[in-house]
Structure 1
Amino acid sequence: MATVPPPGLKFKLILLGDFGVGKTTLFHRIRAGRFLQGAHAPNEHLAVCKRTVQLSHPQTASLAQISLWDTAGEERFLSLSSCYYRDTDAVLLLYSAQSQLSFDSLPHWVHVARQYCPEAPIFLLGNKTDLKPRLPEDKAEKFSVEHGIAGRFNVSAKTGENVDRCVQDVVQLLVLQSDAGSSRLTVSLQEADSSSRCAC
């Protein structure tokens, strides 16, 4: 069994969405494998983490590597540089499952993603699912269909619910896409049933 990812299986994932939806908290959850209270780091600019992801599809390699990029709050100032978007393989678009305002901002972020990284599939993540009340699921489903979203997940950066499964499924689909040369991806929501540590 391979202990390092093949050279071609390295993917750049970026986080997009309104300030306050939990992007940095999710970034630290993926990086550290646990919830970090007060995870926001206002002095950081475009934080990046590398992580090795274990894959389970029998027809693909067993390992792949991601570099996950976080805005570190820069979206508040509309100051994300072009390097943030360059060579992006997938966009993780976040909204708060409790915030209608963050959901209403999603079309803006889809436009931004399609403008700066048009080839990258977009995955919709409804964060903060550990809190109630939550926005109706049918709204997110309708948005996903209307905007050609590649996959949709409900996650909680605080509890870790579905986070590892989301990352694994996104990377698995990127691997299958690179193998098949397909530009169309779909994924169904799955429950997280495992956890892993970041290989930063």
Structure 2
Amino acid sequence: MSLKVKKLIDNKPDDERKPVKVILLGDSAVGKSKLVERFLMQRYVPVQMSTYALTLFHYDFVTEDDEAIDVDIWDTAGQERFSTMHPAYYHEAHACILVFDVTRKATYKNLEKWLGELRNYREHIPCIVACNKIDTDPSVVNKAFAFVEKHNLSLFYVSAADGTNVVQLLESAISEAVKYKKSPKKDDLMSQVLGFIKE
């Protein structure tokens, strides 16, 4: 599904909108927030800051067939420093972007841990891997990554600094989230449990 990245003017009532939730996972300072900022605001401020509360980016999209889509992009915003995320972070997520920093090997190795935690709560949602900061080493685009092949995941080589493939990454994640929301798996345990609690 192709998406036009533009602000949507939509007079539909809220209950007719089609919200999707995309979450980002990865170690601290791999560039998760900067990727989202580059996508939503088309700007990049090279100042690294960690915060303590979760960050929710809300944006509206319209597809080429004029379907209105509400998108909530959730960022860990420093919580990943505690090595685990609160279960509510995963609740009703429809797609995930796993981010690692190509200049820090440990952040790549830790993808296995993040994927494992994700699958504990959202077993079937689509997941995309982002190899960030390729501006520091452009040759990395010729490298294959065993983690990606092992789990049969899509891989994007991106840079929040110069914008390389950032729009493509987020649009792909949103498209996959939309598809998943329309045909969800019924055995994502956390959504079922939290759903019962809300009732």
- TM-score of the pair, normalised by structure 1: 0.75
Residue 114 of structure 1 pairs with residue 122 of structure 2: no
Q: 1:5 & 1:162 partners in 2: Cα distance?
A: 32
Q: 1:24 & 1:11 partners in 2: Cα distance?
A: 18
Q: 1:92 & 1:169 partners in 2: Cα distance?
A: 10
1:40 aligns with 49
Q: For structure 2, which runs of at least 5 residues remain unmatched after alignment? A: 1-7, 186-199
Q: Select 1:18's aligned residue among 6, 27, 50.
A: 27
Q: Select 2:152's aligned residue among 140, 145, 148.
A: 148
Larger helix percent: 2
In structure 2, relative to structure 1, the CA distance for the partners of 1:64 and 1:105 (3 Å cut) is: same
In structure 2, relative to structure 1, the CA distance for the partners of 1:62 and 1:97 (3 Å cut) is: farther
Q: Select 1:52's aligned residue among 46, 54, 60.
A: 60
Q: 2:61 & 2:11 partners in 1: Cα distance?
A: 9
Q: Select 2:173's aligned residue among 170, 175, 180.
A: 170
Q: Which residue identity is paired with 1:77?
A: F
Q: Select 2:144's aligned residue among 139, 145, 158.
A: 139
Q: Select 2:10's aligned residue among 4, 8, 18.
A: 4
- TM-score of the pair, normalised by structure 2: 0.75
Q: 2:121 & 2:73 partners in 1: Cα distance?
A: 17
Q: 1:125 & 1:77 partners in 2: Cα distance?
A: 21
% identity of equivalent residues: 25
1:158 aligns with 161
Q: For structure 1, which runs of at least 5 residues remain unmatched after alignment? A: 184-200
Q: Select 2:85's aligned residue among 66, 80, 85.
A: 80
Assess if the C-alpha contact under 8 Å between 2:126 and 2:176 holds in 1.
Answer: no
State the Cα deviation string for residues 99-153 of structure 1 (Å, max 9, x = none): 222111111111011112213211111111111165464433x42231132x221
Q: Which residue identity is paired with 1:97?
A: V
Assess if the C-alpha contact under 8 Å between 1:98 and 1:134 holds in 2.
Answer: no
Assess if the C-alpha contact under 8 Å between 1:98 and 1:135 holds in 2.
Answer: no
